[in-house]
Amino acid sequence: DYFESFGFNVIPVPNVKNKLDNMLEHMDYTGIILTGGGDVDPKLYDQDYDFPLNISEQRDRTEYALINFAIKTKTPVLGICRGMQLINVYFGGSLTRDEKLAKTVGTVHDLFIKDKKLKDILGKDIFRVNTYHNFAVFPNNLSNDLVMFAQDDNGIVEGYYHRTFPI
């Protein structure tokens, strides 16, 4: 509903193993949105956890293929929650989970825009956002290919962009 309110036609992409590029080449689109959901597989960033995770290797593969396609075609990508975390992992970053994060799931908190140009565009530098994830990107987890533009008061990176691609 949110994206349709801006006049976007949203077309969900299924988790497919083959021919994703072929499918996308025959669609009319202006961007790719990687949405929220389960956890990014820790194996993708060389971690192992001994507690239950909600991962989908097929979804991770599909979204990696979407990012590959976007880079090849210079298609804009927006990552939301899990999607944002996956983008960081794709470019060599990692994620952190700790008990403090687990206790903040389902809460609302402030997000601070750190980039002056973006502050000017948005007209303000503080936004209220919700948290529904157990993992986070801290500055030391952030890929060198990405530039932070938003952070919360716990030091969690809440927004970033790629240095050269429209991601």
- Which has the closest alpha carbon to 153: 138, 142, 143? 138
Q: What is the DSSP string of 36-78?
A: --SBPPGGGGT---SS---B-HHHHHHHHHHHHHHHHHT--EE
Q: How confident is the model at residue 120 (pLDDT cuts 50, 70, 90)?
A: very high
Q: pLDDT, tens digit, for every residue of 34-70? A: 998 889 999 999 988 877 788 999 999 999 999 999 9
Q: pLDDT, tens digit, for every residue of 62-90? A: 999 999 999 999 999 999 999 999 999 99
CA distances from 149 to 1, 142, 162 (A): 26, 12, 11
pTM for the full model? 0.91
100 pLDDT more than 70: no
Are 147 and 163 contacting, i.e. CB atoms less than 8 angstroms apart? yes
